[in-house]
Each structure stands twice: as structure tokens, then as C-alpha cells.
Structure 1
Amino acid sequence: MAVSSNFLLFSASLLFFTVSPSIQASFRPKALVLPLTKDASTTQYVTQIKQRTPLVPIKLSLDLGAESLWVDCDQNYVSSTYKSARCNSAQCNLARSKACGSCSDGPKPGCNNNICSLLPSNSFKNVGTIGKVAQDVVAVQSTDGKSSGKVVSTSKFLFTCGATFLLDGLASGVKGVAGLGRTKISKPRSRS
């Protein structure tokens, strides 16, 4: 199956988040479109979303088995809408986090006290670590199946903060992994 103009159309059954309440109630996208390219040097499939406030383009390697989207929060993660998921919160329960942690570095993206944890990993290099569960704004182009639609966003997209060393072996310019595994917070299933 050819991928026209390097775009992959995710059907309505693969919507990875619901439209935020700030989007007009009458607008419901039929599907979302994510750019998809194959990196020649790593043969990884790479997509791009916009995340944070202000929105920043983020390149991600696709991993069909990864439990969640994770991004490197150690290098230049700046966002006015970043929120950590507190231990025993609804977000931590949804993520099925069983661990809570704290940081000696003080509060910052990926490093806060009383925050639930997951295990972001790089399956291309078979490495992983402990990462903090968080939420932030994510925006993606929508489509009606024939043409581009509005950019839709959610302010409560759950993801995991990974560490910079997890980027080793990922495609050039990639800042994390878009997990498509069978969990409640993976890309196809995440809801806000």
C-alpha cells in the first residue's frame, strides 16, 4: 500500500485522543493524519506531532509495542502547560503506574516529587529507564478522509518523560518514541 505524500491516515478507530473542550463542540474529526517517513539510516518509521505550550514540532520513532509516548524531558523541554501526574491520581491509575518517585534536582519536567513512574524504553537498542508520567498539550492535523481539516489538540495528553540516553540509536532529530502498544495511554487509545 503506497503512502501518499508521506502521510499515514489513522482511521477513526485509531484516534489517540479526544478533542479538547476548547475545540468547537460541533467539530469532530473523522481521523487524524500524522506525517510518516522511513529514516534511511535506521529504517525506523518516524512521525511528527506538535507538543507543549508554545507548540513545538517533535519527531518520534514509531514502536508498535511501546506502552506510551515518551519524550526526552532532560534537554530543552520547556512548556507552560506541562503538569506532572501525582501519585495515586486518575492519570497514574490510567497509566497503570505502580511506582512513585521523587527527585533531588527539584521540580522540572521529568523531575518532581510524589510523581508516578513508568518505564520508557528504546526497543531499537533494548534499553530502558524509569520515567515520570506527565501531561501536556498535543496537536495533530485532522482530515475528513479526502482533505486536510483543522488542527485538533488536547491539553491533557498523557506521556512519559524519558532520559536523553534513550535517544541513542533512534533516527536523527528524534526526541522520543510514539508507542502503539495495547495500553490505555498508548497513541491509539489515549483519551483526555
Structure 2
Amino acid sequence: MVVSSNLLLFSASLLLFIVSPSIQASFRPKALVLSVSKDASTKQYVTQIKQRTPSVPIKLTLDLGAQSLWVDCEQNYISSTYKHALCNSTQCKLAGSDSCRSCFDGPKPGCNNNTCGLFVSSITIVTFGDVSQVVVAVQSTDGKSSGKSGSVSEFLFTCGPLVS
């Protein structure tokens, strides 16, 4: 099925507006913009956001059929604002997770005791990770030109190791 870039851009923007109540009150953009492109090697649509504290650019695959966004937390994942969602928490319910997990090799981003988890599967990845939250920043626009980045402080995503 061929999906246009406009549909992906609209869907990604919609996703960000769902979490817009957690955008810092001092800055209320009219819209947030994600630049979407098609990866030549995987044929998947990708975008880039800034995530973590300190902020670093992260490449994300846009999968409109997926339950959540996923980040590989095995590769040097460092963030002072990273939080995992505890079992049966509001964050777990929002993410659609009803599993509670434990880790046998010690807590780390992507595997913590008493956290809810999500299974993520796409054409290129299969993983099970923690429902987590972190700060993300996305470019804003007034509809005509680019503005400053909008920050979302408690953005939910799945943090886990790459298993393929």
C-alpha cells in the first residue's frame, strides 16, 4: 500500500497534538512539523526528532499501524529525564500495556523491574521494551515559516533492545 508523505506528516503531527497539553505553557506553537522522507534501503518512512536530556537527534521510523514509537535503548542511551512507567500506572494505560515485567540482568533503560512493557514489531524490528517517557523537541511553524522547537516533557515511547 502506498501512503503519501502528506498523510504521514498529518498523522505524525496529529500524534504530537495529542500530547500537546504537556508542551511548556510559555510556548504554544500553532503547529509542529516533522520532515518525513523515505529511507532508500528499508523503503520505510522516517523522521527525526530531538529526544533526551541533553537533547540529541533521533531517527524514527513512522509506522502508522504500530502501537507506539520505539527507540533502541541499548546503544549509549543517556538521559537525565528518562523515566520508566511503573506497572498499572496511568502511562501504561495510555500506552495500552497490561504486562508487568522484570529484568534478570539489572535495571537499565529498556529493562526495569516493575515496569509495563510493550511488544513492538515491524518489517525491520522486533523487540519488547519498557513503556517510558522522556523530553522530546520538535520544530514549530506558524503555517508560513519555521519557528523555534516545541518541547514535550513527558512523551511516551517504547524503550528496548533491537531483536531481529
CA distance in 2 between counterparts of 1:134 and 1:53 reads 14
User: Whose helix fraction is larger, Structure 1's or Structure 2's?
Assistant: 2
* Runs of 4+ residues over 4 Å off in structure 1: 8-14
Q: Equivalent residue for 1:42?
A: 42
Q: Secondary structure at the match of 1:141?
A: strand
Q: Equivalent residue for 1:93?
A: 93
Q: Secondary structure at the match of 1:91?
A: helix
Q: Equivalent residue for 1:124?
A: 123
Return the offset for 1:158.
Answer: 0.6
Return the offset for 1:9.
Answer: 6.3
Return the offset for 1:19.
Answer: 5.2
Which amino acid in structure 1 is aligned with residue 152 of structure 2?
T
Q: What whole-Å deviation, never above 9, does each CA across 1:59-113 have from its counterpart, x for those lacking one? A: 1111110111110011111111100100011111111211101112222111111
Q: Equivalent residue for 2:143?
A: 145
Contact 1:19 1:28 in 2 (8 A): no
- 13, 17, 20: which one pairs with 1:18? 20
Q: Equivalent residue for 1:164?
A: 162
Contact 1:11 1:32 in 2 (8 A): no
Contact 1:12 1:30 in 2 (8 A): no
- The one of the two structures with greater contact order (alpha-carbon pairs below 8 A, sep at least 6) is 1
Cα gap change, 1:112/1:23 in structure 2, threshold over 3 Å: closer, same or farther?
same
State percent identity of aligned pairs.
66
Aligned residues: 158
TM-score, normalization by structure 2: 0.85
CA distance in 2 between counterparts of 1:71 and 1:135 reads 11
Q: Equivalent residue for 2:82?
A: 82
Q: Equivalent residue for 1:60?
A: 60
Q: Secondary structure at the match of 2:35?
A: strand
Q: Which runs of 5+ in 1 are unaligned?
A: 167-192
Which amino acid in structure 2 is aligned with residue 152 of structure 1?
G
TM-score, normalization by structure 1: 0.74
Contact 2:103 2:112 in 1 (8 A): yes
Q: What whole-Å deviation, never above 9, does each CA across 1:22-71 have from its counterpart, x for those lacking one? A: 440xx422211112122222222110001000001001111110111110
Cα gap change, 1:47/1:99 in structure 2, threshold over 3 Å: closer, same or farther?
same
Q: Which runs of 5+ in 2 are unaligned?
A: none
